[in-house]
Amino acid sequence: MSDDGRSTTGPLPVAALDDPHLAPYAKRPQAVAAAAAISMVIGIIGIIGFGVAFWVGNQTQWQAATLGVGLFGLGFGVAAWGKYLMPQGPFVEERHDFHSTDDERDAMSAAVVERGGLVVKRRKVLGGLFALGSAVFGVVAAFPLLRSLGPKPGRTLFVTNWRAGSRVVTVDGRRVRPSDLEVGGVLTVFPQGHEGNSPDQTILIRLQAGQEPVVLESPGRSDWTVHGIVGYSKMCTHLGCPVGLYQEQTTELVCPCHQSVFNVRAGAVPQFGPAPRPLPQLPLAVDAAGYLVSSGGYDQPVGPGFWERP
Ligand code: FES
């Protein structure tokens, strides 16, 4: 006999299914099950939304928000399921005979169908939703692999839209004269017709008199500047961040991502940080109307030097 007076020997009584220890912790299990199911469905929608945002790209805020909703929804549903719908216990293993009579088995089967069927069915739904959510998450997690199987980029990563005679314009399409830049000023420009195109982004810097570039790496660049204005690719050669911080006193460009420092007067060679090579330089000229144009394209690919990797 146990402490609570229940028999510790003999077959497990059918009435044990009514044991309050086996009842769900929640007072209203059906409501909790519905809430858990709704939470999981929201989670699944969130993960699908994350997949869409990832596939479309350039929407990091949406990716973070949808992934957060997805994981929180699934997690909340599973937690509610485990905490409030499982038997609350505590459980004590009763000692009893290790065999049942046929009558007892029949009675148990009838009792399970009659009394436990609803609970079993409800948990099947939750289990199915959790499995569906896990499957959706698995598919979405494979998106980076699926995207990598797209068409090859070809030469698009090696050449930009800068050509000899390309008109230099701002992001809103306005042409640029040398006098538009004050000494020490910087301006982000693009080739006309490709405003806002990332690989084409170029930073113009107007140096002070006497600060003209001392090009160490490529002496042939002596005529690539006009009126003290020098142009470099704005894509960092480390991981491609925009290199937009210019320190006039030291004539250095700084990448805000990992603090690579480029020497503007020395062909933008990296002086500090993880960038492995100089920023490509754009040869500049002035056309007959007095506007800036490029006298050629970049002499090397812009951005991270992925092609140099073994
Ligand atoms: S991306 Fe510029 S230093 Fe890393």
pLDDT digits (tens, 9 = 90+) for 195-218: 998 889 999 999 887 666 666 445
Q: Choose one of 198, 203, 253, 258 to mutate for the ligand 1 pocket test, by most ligand atoms within 8 angstroms of C-beta.
A: 258
Taking residues 245-274, report their average pLDDT: 91
Together in a domain, 245 and 173? yes
**What is the tens place of the pLDDT at every residue in 34-73?**
999 999 999 999 999 999 888 887 678 888 999 999 999 9
Nearest atom in ligand 1 to 260's CA = 3
**Residue 60 covered by a domain:** yes
The predicted structure's pLDDT at residue 152? 59
Together in a domain, 164 and 219? yes
Give residues with Cβ within 8 angstroms of 134, minimum separation 6: 74
Ligand 1 interacting residues, C-beta cut-off 6 A: 236, 238-239, 241, 255, 257-258, 260, 273-275
Which residue owns the Cα nearest ligand 1 atom 3? 258
The predicted structure's pLDDT at residue 115? 65
Together in a domain, 170 and 277? yes
Together in a domain, 119 and 249? no
Kindly state the greatest CA–CA separation across the chain: 107
| Domain span including residue 283 | 156-308
Together in a domain, 107 and 214? no
pTM of the model: 0.54
Together in a domain, 140 and 181? no
Residue 89 or residue 29, greater confidence: 29
